[in-house]
């Protein structure tokens, strides 16, 4: 068990912990934290190889690690900026709210017709005044939209989510973000 | 025995197949010329008669259409030099006979009679065809006379004589018998006579022309035409097998039909049986005395039988369609011309001596029979037949013209268009006798190509005066006997006939035509119906079933194909497509839109790749 | 083998302590429910890492790590958490419903990495002397051999800064709009 191996194992452990965090946490910021841990583990790897490598006087590992730190910092800055921007729109940092990349099912016709008039997000507003609520009648979401409205009024909502967004009539149910417009159900 | 007659032929090849060729042609010799004259002249008179008789019929045009076709075909038979052409015209004659018998086809009895006539003569025609084909194959030619190469000429005949056939016959004899079978059908010899009486369903002119004068005579003419074949190899003083058969059949028919005629009550039916009987005489005459004897009787019979039929037609017309002689009577004063002409015809038929042609022609036959070397029985049969002929004719005349009128409306005389031909025929019925007397046998000489000489001394030839005397006695006996029984008495229609009272059983047999039709019905017809049913069953079930089976198998195949197409091809394709879209849908579920999912998959992918990398780089 | 026995020596005690610290910090960072606690644990993890660097005689890297990560990134994370109201306790659960799957995958990755390391221990380089690295040397290297990466990183940082400014601008206009309402 060489020291290098030990350090590499530590790095691997850190990396896995960071990956586990990135894969399992629901908050976007925690995903970024996981990513930072992974980057740190990589840095440790670099330094360890520099220390126990054949030519430490070349400083390759060290310089690499420094650059890595710099890049990681920049990336963290940008990433966190994006997260706060996201929060401004969706009023949540739950990554489950960000599934715009999802392949929508058929009935896109209905979907876009209904969402044509709804172009604003309403932060904290009751759903009632928005014609999004009226247009969100696809697949029985109308009921849930009304529910969302009432829940919003009472202030009792979950995950700071109480709005209808542009082209994304989201009807939510307390208990889990698993009822979405378009009948999209999570696996 | 025939001499060197003048003969003109016109032959041509109709079909040529390689070396074989089918020839047709026409011949003009004494035999065909007398037939030509007779057929055209009698035919002319009957055509004139028909214009009056059929005046009120709505199918007047169709009648003359068929009648003209018949006349053309009959003339074709008579002048044909090719046995094939003769057969073709023979068949045409049979066809027009069928069409004319069934002229009033709406009557079931007429339609049935037409069918019976056609089918019965068909039986004879099969044998005729066989004989024809055999003759052609043996002699190699269809022509009768062809400058020495014809089938009736010496070269062919010797060849046929040399060829043995079955049962001790030569080819010549066998072919002759086969051809006689055909003639027997057409000329109503026993046992193929059954159609002739039924043929009286047709209009009277048809009966007169076809079934008295011409068509039935075609059979006799055919025998006369192929006489060289029938007589081939005749030993001197003897006769051939074929001619013997002809004689016996003829003699038997003569007596058989005469017996039946005695007990008939339909005016035309009596005459029909009389025709059958006289045809028997003609055949016997041919067989025993040769062509001239038979042909002379044929010519005279044509005239007086046509006369009798036309007279019967006149009577029927005058009695408003009544045909039962028991419902007539006393017409000698109402229909004078008809009575006189009918009597002349009747006397000619009976063979009343000297003034009537029938006497001379019948005596010619009796003379030949008397001198026949084989047997004497035909002579006695023919004499008995003459007695019967006189008997039944007198009976008929007594019933129809004498006594009192037993019918409904009073009778009237027929128009001139009908009575004029009667008069003309009556004249010839008497005058024709003059050309056939032994004193001046012009007819016989003409046929032989000789010149006849007038010689009264020929009456003194051995046996001739005796024969003439005995035949006269026989005729007068018959006449007197019948007059005695039937005389001026007019029994009512419901009363039984005088003879019937005497012997009801025999009368019954005779009236029922000696049950020949019933015999056929029980045997031939029954078998034929059974066979027709079998054939129908075969056709519907077996052949039809086979066809239906093939069709059904095709339908089955089509259904199978459709099933395969719908379920296997389409279904497979649809399943494939739905599977594709289903799996596509499944795969699309990976696109959750959530980053974590993507990240997880990335991590999995990296793990897999690293493992592969490590594994592959191991030493 | 005597050679290996000579080479194999127990890791120093300080190594284990530092490892424990780092790993504990990392675990806390991913497991805790309160997001702010996570951020603080993250700082601990970063510190641990910096100390590990120091243990590895990479002084410059260690201090750089400390300054940048702990001093900037961790603070940034805290700022972000505060801005997004992450301090509130979430009601829907902090872990995804399929957390086990994620855990398994992470464990798999660790297994593969561990296997790779253990499997190639013979190939790994042996002990070397402690390198004497001066900042001067690092500076020379940066502007000498590695000047290109340096410039690129500079560009990258500039871009990141501009991006952050744009995001902030957007934020301001958003705030302005909401202010009107």
The beta-carbon neighbor of C30 closest among A9, A21, A40 is A21
Helical spans, DSSP H, in A25-138: 28-52, 60-90, 108-115, 131-135
Do B600 and C101 make contact, defined as CB atoms within 8 angstroms?
yes
Do C125 and A77 make contact, defined as CB atoms within 8 angstroms?
no
What is the C-alpha separation between A62 and A47, in angstroms, rounded? 6
Q: Find out whether B27 and B79 touch, Cβ atoms under 8 Å.
A: yes
B154-209 pLDDT tens trace: 788 888 888 887 787 888 888 999 999 999 988 888 888 899 888 988 898 998 88
pLDDT at B69: 95
Do C61 and A66 make contact, defined as CB atoms within 8 angstroms?
yes
Do A26 and C93 make contact, defined as CB atoms within 8 angstroms?
yes
Do A23 and B600 make contact, defined as CB atoms within 8 angstroms?
yes
Residue from B600, B602, B616 whose CB has the most chain C CBs within 10 Å, to mutate: B600
Which residues in chain C have their CB less than 8 angstroms from residue B607's CB?
A: 105, 108-109, 112
Question: The whole model's pTM is what?
Answer: 0.60
A166 touches chain C (CB under 8 A): no
Residue scoring higher pLDDT (B460 or A86): A86
B385-434 pLDDT tens trace: 999 999 999 999 988 888 878 777 777 788 887 888 889 999 988 888 88
Q: Which chains touch C (3 or more CB pairs under 8 A)?
A: A, B
Note the maximum CA span of chain A. 70
Which residues in chain A have their CB less than 8 angstroms from residue B591's CB?
A: 101-103
B604 touches chain C (CB under 8 A): yes
The beta-carbon neighbor of A76 closest among C45, C73, C124 is C73
pLDDT band with cut points at 50, 70 and 90 for residue A67: very high
Q: DSSP assignment, residue A176?
A: B
Bridge pairing between strands B8-17 and B20-28: antiparallel
C42-77 pLDDT tens trace: 999 999 999 999 999 899 999 999 999 999 999 999
Do B603 and C105 make contact, defined as CB atoms within 8 angstroms?
yes
Q: What is the least distance, in Å, from the CA of B593 to any CA of chain C? A: 15
pLDDT band with cut points at 50, 70 and 90 for residue B510: confident
Nearest to B25 by CA among B69, B86, B73, B70: B86
Do C119 and B614 make contact, defined as CB atoms within 8 angstroms?
yes
Residue ranges of A 109-148 with Cβ closer than 8 A to chain C: 123
Q: Which chains touch A (3 or more CB pairs under 8 A)?
A: B, C
pLDDT band with cut points at 50, 70 and 90 for residue A99: confident
Q: What is the least distance, in Å, from the CA of C152 to any CA of chain A? A: 10
Do C109 and B600 make contact, defined as CB atoms within 8 angstroms?
no
B600 touches chain C (CB under 8 A): yes
3-state secondary structure of A170: coil
Say how many C-beta atoms besides its own lie within 10 A of residue B306's C-beta. 30
Question: Has residue A54 got a pLDDT over 60?
Answer: yes
Query: Would you call A60 exposed, middle or buried from its count of C-beta atoms within 10 A (0-12, 13-18, 19+)?
Result: middle
pLDDT at A136: 42
| DSSP string of B174-241, one letter each residue | HHHHHHHHHHHHHTT-TTS-THHHHGGGS-HHHHHIIIIISHHHHHHHHHHHTHHHHTTTPPTT---H
B611 touches chain C (CB under 8 A): yes
Q: Find out whether B65 and B117 touch, Cβ atoms under 8 Å.
A: no
Q: Which residues of B touch A (CB under 8 A)?
A: 588-589, 591-596, 599-600, 603
The rounded average pLDDT for each run of 10 residues, N- to C-terminus, in chain C (181 residues) is 47 91 96 91 96 93 94 93 75 81 94 90 68 88 92 94 80 61 52
Average pLDDT over residues B539-554: 90
Which residues in chain C have their CB less than 8 angstroms from residue B606's CB?
A: 109
């Amino acid at each position: 068990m060489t020291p290098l191996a030990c350090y590499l194992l530590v790095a691997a452990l850190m990396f896995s912990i960071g990956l586990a965090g990135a894969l399992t946490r629901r908050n976007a910021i925690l995903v970024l934290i996981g990513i930072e841990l992974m980057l740190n583990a990589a840095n440790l790897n670099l330094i360890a190889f520099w220390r126990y490598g054949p030519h430490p006087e070349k400083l390759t590992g060290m310089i690499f690690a420094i650059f890595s730190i710099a890049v990681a910092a920049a990336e963290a800055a940008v990433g966190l900026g994006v997260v706060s921007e996201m929060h401004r729109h969706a009023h949540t940092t739950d990554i489950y709210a960000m599934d715009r990349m999802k392949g929508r099912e058929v009935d896109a016709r209905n979907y876009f017709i209904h969402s044509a008039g709804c172009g604003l997000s309403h932060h904290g507003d009751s759903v009632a005044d928005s014609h999004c609520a009226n247009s969100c009648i696809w697949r029985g979401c109308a009921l849930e939209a009304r529910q969302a409205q009432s829940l919003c009024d009472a202030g009792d909502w979950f995950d700071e989510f109480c709005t209808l967004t542009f082209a994304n009539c989201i009807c939510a149910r307390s208990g889990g973000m698993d009822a979405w417009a378009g009948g999209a159900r999570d696996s | 025995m025939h001499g060197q007659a003048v003969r003109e032929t016109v032959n041509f090849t109709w079909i040529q197949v390689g070396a074989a060729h089918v020839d047709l042609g026409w011949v003009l010799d004494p035999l065909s010329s007398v037939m030509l004259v007779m057929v055209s002249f009698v035919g002319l008179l009957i055509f004139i008669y028909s214009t009056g008789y059929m005046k009120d019929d709505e199918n007047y045009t169709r009648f003359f259409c068929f009648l003209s076709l018949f006349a053309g075909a009959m003339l074709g038979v008579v002048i044909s030099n090719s046995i094939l052409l003769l057969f073709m015209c023979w068949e045409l004659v049979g066809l027009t006979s069928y069409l004319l018998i069934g002229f009033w086809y709406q009557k079931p009895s007429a339609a049935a009679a037409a069918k019976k006539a056609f089918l019965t003569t068909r039986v004879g025609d099969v044998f005729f065809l066989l004989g024809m084909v055999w003759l052609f194959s043996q002699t190699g030619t269809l022509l009768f006379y062809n400058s020495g190469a014809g089938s009736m000429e010496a070269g062919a005949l010797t060849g046929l004589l040399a060829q043995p056939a079955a049962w001790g016959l030569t080819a010549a004899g066998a072919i002759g018998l086969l051809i006689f079978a055909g003639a027997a059908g057409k000329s109503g010899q026993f046992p193929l006579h059954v159609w002739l009486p039924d043929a009286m369903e047709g209009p009277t002119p048809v009966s007169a022309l076809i079934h008295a004068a011409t068509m039935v005579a075609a059979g006799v003419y055919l025998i006369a035409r192929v006489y060289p074949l029938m007589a081939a190899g005749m030993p001197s003083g003897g006769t051939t097998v074929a001619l013997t058969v002809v004689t016996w059949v003829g003699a038997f028919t003569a007596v058989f039909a005469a017996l039946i005629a005695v007990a008939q009550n339909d005016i035309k039916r009596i005459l029909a049986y009389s025709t059958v009987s006289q045809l028997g005489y003609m055949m016997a005459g041919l067989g025993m005395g040769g062509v001239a004897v038979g042909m002379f009787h044929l010519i005279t019979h044509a005239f007086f039988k046509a006369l009798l039929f036309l007279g019967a037609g006149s009577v029927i017309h005058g009695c408003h369609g009544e045909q039962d002689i028991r419902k007539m009577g006393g017409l000698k004063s109402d229909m004078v011309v008809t009575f006189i002409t009918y009597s002349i015809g009747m006397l000619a038929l009976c063979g009343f001596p000297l003034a009537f042609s029938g006497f001379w022609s019948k005596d010619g036959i009796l003379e030949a029979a008397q001198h026949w070397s084989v047997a004497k029985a035909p002579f006695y049969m023919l004499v008995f037949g003459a007695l019967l002929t006189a008997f039944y004719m007198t009976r008929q005349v007594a019933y129809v013209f004498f006594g009192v009128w037993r019918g409904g409306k009073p009778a009237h005389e027929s128009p001139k268009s009908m009575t004029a031909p009667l008069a003309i025929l009556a004249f010839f019925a008497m005058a024709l006798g003059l050309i056939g007397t032994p004193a001046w046998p012009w007819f016989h000489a003409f046929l032989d190509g000789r010149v006849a000489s007038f010689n009264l001394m020929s009456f003194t030839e051995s046996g001739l005066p005796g024969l003439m005397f005995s035949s006269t006695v026989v005729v007068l006996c018959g006449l007197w006997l019948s007059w005695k029984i039937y005389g001026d008495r007019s029994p009512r229609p419901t009363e039984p006939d005088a003879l019937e009272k005497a012997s009801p059983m025999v009368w019954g047999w005779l009236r029922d035509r000696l049950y020949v039709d019933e015999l056929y019905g029980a045997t031939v017809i029954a078998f034929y119906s059974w066979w027709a049913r079998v054939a129908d069953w075969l056709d519907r079930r077996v052949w039809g079933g086979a066809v239906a089976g093939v069709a059904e198998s095709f339908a089955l195949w089509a259904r199978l194909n459709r099933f395969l197409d719908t379920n296997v091809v389409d279904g497979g394709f649809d399943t494939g497509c739905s599977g594709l879209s289903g799996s596509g849908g499944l795969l699309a579920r990976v696109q959750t839109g959530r980053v974590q999912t993507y990240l997880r998959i990335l991590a999995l992918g990296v793990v897999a790749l690293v493992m592969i990398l490590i594994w592959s780089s191991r030493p | 083998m005597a050679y290996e026995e000579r080479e194999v020596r127990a890791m120093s005690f300080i190594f284990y302590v530092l490892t424990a610290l780092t790993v504990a910090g990392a675990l806390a960072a991913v497991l805790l429910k309160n997001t702010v606690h996570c951020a603080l644990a993250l700082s601990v993890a970063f510190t641990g890492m910096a100390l590990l660097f120091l243990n590895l005689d990479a002084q410059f890297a260690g201090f750089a790590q400390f300054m940048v990560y702990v001093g900037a990134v961790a603070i940034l994370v805290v700022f972000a958490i505060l801005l997004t109201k992450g301090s509130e306790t979430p009601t829907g659960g902090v872990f995804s419903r399929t957390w086990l799957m994620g855990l398994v995958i992470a464990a798999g990755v660790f297994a593969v990495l561990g296997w790779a390391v253990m499997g190639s221990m013979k190939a790994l380089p042996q002990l070397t002397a402690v390198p004497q690295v001066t900042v001067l040397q690092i500076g020379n290297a940066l502007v000498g051999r590695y000047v290109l990466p340096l410039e690129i990183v500079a560009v990258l940082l500039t871009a990141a800064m501009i991006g952050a400014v744009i995001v902030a601008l957007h934020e301001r206009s958003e705030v302005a709009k909401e202010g009107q309402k």
